[in-house]
Amino acid sequence: MDHPAQSRSHALTRHSDDLTRRPKSAALLALAAFAVLALLLLTGCGSSDSEGGSGDGSNASNEAAAGTCSYPADSQSGAEDVDAPAEKPEADGEFEATIGTNAGDLAVTLDADGAPCTVNSFLSLAKQKYFDDTDCHRLTTEGIFVLQCGDPSGTGSGGPGYSFADELDGSETYPAGTLAMANSGPDTNGSQFFVVYDDSSLPPDYTVFGSLDEDSTKTVADIAAKGTDSGAGDGAPNQKVTITEVSAD
């Protein structure tokens, strides 16, 4: 599992408390417990003590309104040596990008209006070839349905050496085809992201910055159908998925 972080304990505590008020059916409790554990998959690489932000996305929203973004350095060094993004995003609107993988190209639409600082970081890392030749290290096939990528170390704890604030409004949902950021708590985004290949119920804590087209979502679903190396509901995908390049039109 990813390294423990105090900043993500709020989600675990909240969901654990909910369990005490649910019916005592062993099957329901087991299913709920798995869903709680599945949330751990979406932890990413940002530092839990990064500056700024209340965890509700307001810090990033204020920055975006001012036309700037903040990318403070993490307490841990990056998995690869990269520069932090420019504070002023260059992209705007929605535009096409491609996540090239050994399993086929994933066609995505990035939303620079809805998540300008996130898209700015993603493009910066792509231009610096940060994602090239990195494996998608985690697949979940029960409870939630996601493939997680973006960590060159392959451990689930690697990141770019900086973090940035959430871009949330509380209405986020995660249907099939969603492209969103993993994190280790409020305002700890880094480089790890996840692709949702089937509708998933998650709290609105993960910044959505794009979407996959139908064919690309099916590509990921086909990978997921082959299961994980653990034989359980989460682990490394049995079909190795390596990002070869990320490019934007």
Amino acid at 181: M
Does 2 score more than 80 pLDDT? no
DSSP 249: -
Residue 23 forms part of a structural domain: yes
- The answer to whether residues 100 and 246 touch, using CB atoms and an 8 Å cutoff, is yes
Residue 160 forms part of a structural domain: yes
Residue 56 pLDDT grade (very low, low, confident, very high; cuts 50, 70, 90): low
Name the nearest CA neighbour of 13 among 52, 31, 39, 44. 39
What are 225-240's pLDDT values in tens digits?
999 999 889 999 999 9
**CATH number of domain containing 31:** 2.40.100.10
For the record, the structure tokens of 182 come out as 């993993």
Of the listed ranges 49-53, 95-99, 106-110, 226-230, the one predicted with least confidence: 49-53
Domain membership of residue 21 as a residue range: 6-248
What are 122-165's pLDDT values in tens digits?
999 999 999 999 999 999 999 999 999 999 999 999 999 999 99
How many domains is the chain built from? 1
- What dihedral angle (degrees, nearest 10) is formed by the CA atoms of 115, 41, 143, 16? -100
pLDDT at 131: 98
pLDDT at 176: 99
Buried b vs exposed e over 106-137: b needs ≥16 C-beta within 10 Å?
Answer: bbbebbbebbbbbbbbbbbbbeeebbbebbbb
Residue 66 forms part of a structural domain: yes
Q: Which residues contact 125 (CB under 8 A, 6 or more apart)?
A: 82, 85, 131, 160, 191, 246
pLDDT at 192: 98
Of the listed ranges 25-39, 71-85, 101-115, 182-196, the one predicted with least confidence: 25-39
Residue 137: C-alpha distances to residues 43, 89, 215 (Å):
12, 29, 22
Transcribe 28-70 into DSSP letters.
Answer: HHHHHHHHHHHHHTT--SS-TT-SS--SSSHHHHHHHHTT---
pLDDT at 78: 87
Residue 122: C-alpha distances to residues 110, 126, 248 (Å):
10, 6, 10
Residue 1 forms part of a structural domain: no
Of all residues in the chain, the percent with pLDDT exceeding 70 is 73
Does 182 score more than 70 pLDDT? yes
